[in-house]
A and B are shown apart, each in its own frame.
Chain A
Amino acid sequence: MSTDTTKTVDARGLSCPQPVILTLDAIKNMASGTVTVLVDTDASRENVARAAGFRGWNVAESPAQDDATALTLTK
């Protein structure tokens, strides 16, 4: 288990379920840390937030460039 890691997942342009798969892959072995996930559809944003929230991660949203949204997952 790694701790206090920082990772970025670029899920722009990917359709479900890949944004969630990539996000869960990223947080799988992390006890704590920060993961930034870039998404560009509302469905991906909701799905990633739901899946991460379900696993005990805090989710914050902020606008990113090119109409994308950056989800910051912290635990």
Chain B
Amino acid sequence: MKNFFASTWGVVLVGAVIGVVAVLLQYLGNPPNMGVCVACFERDIAGALGLHRAGVVQYMRPEIIGFVLGSLAAALIFRDFRARAGSAPIIRFVLGFFAMIGALVFLGCPWRALLRLAGGDLNAILGLAGLAVGVFIGTLFLRKGYSLGRSNKSPAMVGLMLPLIMVVFLVLLFLFPAIAPQGEEKSVQNLIWHSVAGPGSMHAALGISLGVGLLVGFIAQRSRFCTMGAFRDLFLFRQMHLMLGVIALVVAAVILNLVLGSFNAGFEGQPVAHSLYLWNFLGMVLAGWAFALAGGCPGRQLFMAGEGDGDAATFVLGMIAGAAFSHNFSMASSPNGIGAYGDIGVYVGLATCLLISVAMLKSKGGNQ
């Protein structure tokens, strides 16, 4: 069956659509240069669940829920749903954990790095350079036979578990909406937490966020859009396919930002960002390396989880856990700079990636 979205024009279209809807979401209430950020939004979900208590970043982001369920819908409709799991799940959890630590030192996943760049935030150049370097390190080990081993075909329930968790998240959001704040708190609790100040309080209407999430999940599943894969395939195979989708995202977002007057070039005073060059770079080196070892950027992991990949689902849970630790242990950055233990978090994460990279070389392409 011919899959248009897997063609060059297909992935370019998907990248452009993501760029457009992300900037529109910013226009409609999402935080600046954060129309869609998988790392930030999973962090907000960790906060909504009370796994961390950083009051300004707690919201059950419907976009994330939509990504998984939209991907599930596409996979079911196009008979692409394959429940599978068992390729080193605990390692995928840890990679997700440290990918999040790195992303929150930079303040964004690769998608947000692109959106920050498209909004004129030049600090994103350091982040994207870090991402490229991290992915490149990962490809060195992939070339030498790094593998997490084969997954096994599994009962459908294995692949449906994360989509079901997302449905529960959505039900929680419907049943326990934000309530009026009582005092000076930055967030209110109605079973789940809702920020009333800061980025977590900024969001488009639920229906719009969910709708956009479902649309992006659907088309991204078909196109295999992946920001990590864009760099990886360029380094490993000299293939531009996915990179064209990434470029389309940036071009579309820049154009729309210019039209809407939300383009503001510079390093200082950028929204939800800091300008510590070294840490913008190193945070994303860690994240990029972890994404490469796990086979996908955070968005792609959500789409793979939607099409039945239980190992990608484990990576997602690792990211949510990582976000909780990142804030609980003061590793996350803020516009004021990196957290008190952000540097230690990055060092430990890089050491962990090196350990996993070397330890998993033996399996030589998983051809046991």
Contact = CB atoms under 8 A, between A and B. Distances in A.
The A interface, classified by DSSP as helix, strand, loop or mixed, is helix
Contact of B295 (A15, A40, A67): A15
A16 B147 CA distance: 10
A14 B309 CA distance: 11
A18 B84 contact: no
Contact of A50 (B152, B232, B239): B239
Contacts of A54: 239
A71 B152 CA distance: 20
A43 B82 CA distance: 11
A50 B82 CA distance: 21
Interface of B: 3, 6, 78, 80, 82, 84, 87, 142-143, 147-148, 150-153, 224, 229, 232-233, 236-237, 239, 241, 295-296, 307, 309, 311, 365-367
A14 to B, nearest CB: 5
A17 B142 contact: yes
A13 B150 contact: yes
Nearest to B222: A42
Contact of B224 (A20, A25, A46): A46
A74 interface: no
Given A10-B367, A14-B366, A41 B239 contact: no
B232 A43 contact: no
24 contacts: A12-B150, A13-B152, A14-B147, A15-B151, A15-B309, A16-B229, A17-B229, A17-B232, A17-B236, A18-B142, A18-B366, A20-B237, A22-B367, A25-B365, A41-B307, A42-B78, A42-B80, A46-B3, A46-B6, A46-B224, A51-B239, A54-B239, A67-B82, A67-B153
Interface residues on A, range: 20 to 34
B143 to A, nearest CB: 7
B150 to A, nearest CB: 3
A51 B238 CA distance: 10
A43 B366 contact: no
Contacts, number: 67
Interface in A11-49: 12-18, 20-22, 24-25, 40-43, 46-47
Contacts of A50: 239, 241
A17 B367 CA distance: 14
Nearest to B92: A15
B288 to A, nearest CB: 15
Nearest to B147: A18
Contacts of A40: 82, 84, 153
Given A13-B87, A46-B6, A22 B365 contact: yes
A51 B229 CA distance: 14
B241 to A, nearest CB: 7
Contacts of B311: 15
B365 A66 contact: no
A17 B233 contact: yes
A27 to B, nearest CB: 12
A54 B240 CA distance: 11
Given A18-B147, A51-B239, 15 more contacts: A13-B87, A14-B147, A14-B366, A15-B151, A16-B295, A16-B296, A17-B233, A21-B142, A21-B236, A22-B365, A41-B80, A41-B307, A42-B80, A47-B224, A50-B239
